[in-house]
Amino acid sequence: MTHNARFLKDIRAVLLDFDGTLWRGRAPTPGAADFLDLLQQHDIAYRVATNSAVKPASVYSQALQSAGLPVDEDHMITVSVATAAYLRTRLPEGARVYVVGQEGLHQALTEAGFVILPDASQPVDAVVVGGDLTLTYEKLKHATLLIHQGALFIGTNPDVVYPIAEGLAPECGANLAFLTATTGVQPEVVGKPQPHLFQMSLQRLGVPPAQAVMIGDRLETDIHGAQQAGLRAILVSTGVDNADSVVRKGIAPDLVVTDLGELTRLWQAVK
């Protein structure tokens, strides 16, 4: 399933999702290397804008480079960094937070000047929740107690699952659902489909939304979020959603492709 690809000739910048779009499990998706070559050949700027908060940008960059994809750290924008920037608009430097998450989120919040507390023994200003491969009952218990005490409830992203080699695994949205059930409080979510990550990416790229396209594998986050932010949107079928999902969910991208290899061929045809 595709739509008219002529709009590609007017695109000056690309936002790429990470999990399910550029990378799946432990390897690049089909055609990823050729697509990045295409962008370089035609001097099209890009950023990898990911809802993943588990690792720092440097770790994602190293994984991509080890697999032969020339994506340096400056090309990565993680939701952890966007979350820290958003929290700075809500709380002063030095505010105390409790984190359900891993290295990527801890690093971003620390670099933004927040003080991370290890448990619920003292009040905090915010509970910040991301994806967490080391999730325990104790972490969820501390978060529940602190939200009940009045801490801001911040979620990095709403994704309930993310694609891995074996299939779909739990992500941040599942953690948020647990905490909403235990506290009755809805989180303030920063990542896609909210505008923060799109706006940060476009600012770094230096282009207006109308000249940029988002490429992702999720209709509710990548595609709907991009369209709300004024970008074109392309769905790749290497992650969560596909052409059948478009009909079922009623979210229509500008283009639907099997993978980045097919997108490369379509883009070359209109250049």
**What's the pLDDT tens digit per position in 168-208?**
999 999 999 999 999 999 999 999 999 999 999 999 999 99
Pair 133, 102 in one domain: yes
List beta partners, residue 19. Answer: 23
Using the predicted structure, report yes or no on whether residue 149 has a pLDDT greater than 80: yes
* Active-site residue, 19 included: yes
CA-based radius of gyration for the chain: 18
Sequence-separated (6 or more) residues with CB below 8 Å from residue 197? 49, 51, 77, 79, 82, 190, 191, 225
Residue 66 covered by a domain: no
- Among 159, 189, 219, the domain boundary falls at 189
Pair 97, 172 in one domain: yes
Q: Which of 10, 17, 119, 244 is catalytic?
A: 17
C-alpha distance from residue 128 to each of 18, 71, 99, 184, 262 (Å): 22, 28, 5, 16, 38
pLDDT for the residue numbered 13: 98
Pair 130, 227 in one domain: no
Q: How many domains does the chain have?
A: 2
Question: How much is the pTM?
Answer: 0.91
Pair 85, 184 in one domain: yes
Residue 59 covered by a domain: no
Segment 40-96, tens digit of pLDDT: 999 999 999 999 999 999 999 999 999 999 999 999 999 999 999 999 999 999 999
* Active-site residue, 37 included: no
Using the predicted structure, report yes or no on whether residue 2 has a pLDDT greater than 60: no
Q: Which of 19, 125, 159, 222 is catalytic?
A: 19
Pair 91, 44 in one domain: no
The DSSP 8-state label assigned to residue 154 in this structure reads: E
Which residue range(s) make up the domain with 236?
A: 6-51+192-270
